[in-house]
Amino acid sequence: ETGVTQTPRHLVMGMTNKKSLKCEQHLGHNAMYWYKQSAKKPLELMFVYSLEERVENNSVPSRFSPECPNSSHLFLHLHTLQPEDSALYLCASSQDHIGSGQFFGPGTRLTVL
């Protein structure tokens, strides 16, 4: 595998379910990001991790819980989501979190029923 991978690619869940999104980067980068992309809105930065430490949490509801066990893996744990949380969730990585170019995964298309 090369670049940034995300699984699953598509996810449908009910509001009471618990699920997790996974991201893995094979670029040797030190920073990883979660973004939310909704129709007609700019990309929203959710979380930033640098060397496994969270450096940014953009007022994201607690029903989204990130986890970064090492610099290559990033998870987004989901529980009791709302229909408005349906979106494309994108993971990205970069060499550092202070402005180096970001490389994106293919995204997980999430639908909350």
Binding footprint of another protein on the chain (CB under 8 A):
4, 6, 40-43, 45, 48, 56, 88, 90, 92, 97-99, 101-107, 109
CB of 9 to another protein, least distance (A): 9
- Nearer Cβ to another protein, position 13 or 43? 43
- Nearer Cβ to another protein, position 43 or 80? 43
CB of 13 to another protein, least distance (A): 18
CB of 23 to another protein, least distance (A): 11
The string of DSSP letters for the chain reads --SEEEE-SEEEE-TT-EEEEEEEE-S--SEEEEEEE-TTS--EEEEEEETTEEEEE-S--TTEEEEEEETTEEEEEEES--GGG-EEEEEEEES-SSSPPPEE---EEEEE-
Beta bridge partners of 13: 112
- Nearer Cβ to another protein, position 23 or 78? 23
Tell me whether strands 53-57 and 108-112 are parallel, antiparallel or unpaired: unpaired
CB of 38 to another protein, least distance (A): 11
- Nearer Cβ to another protein, position 82 or 100? 100
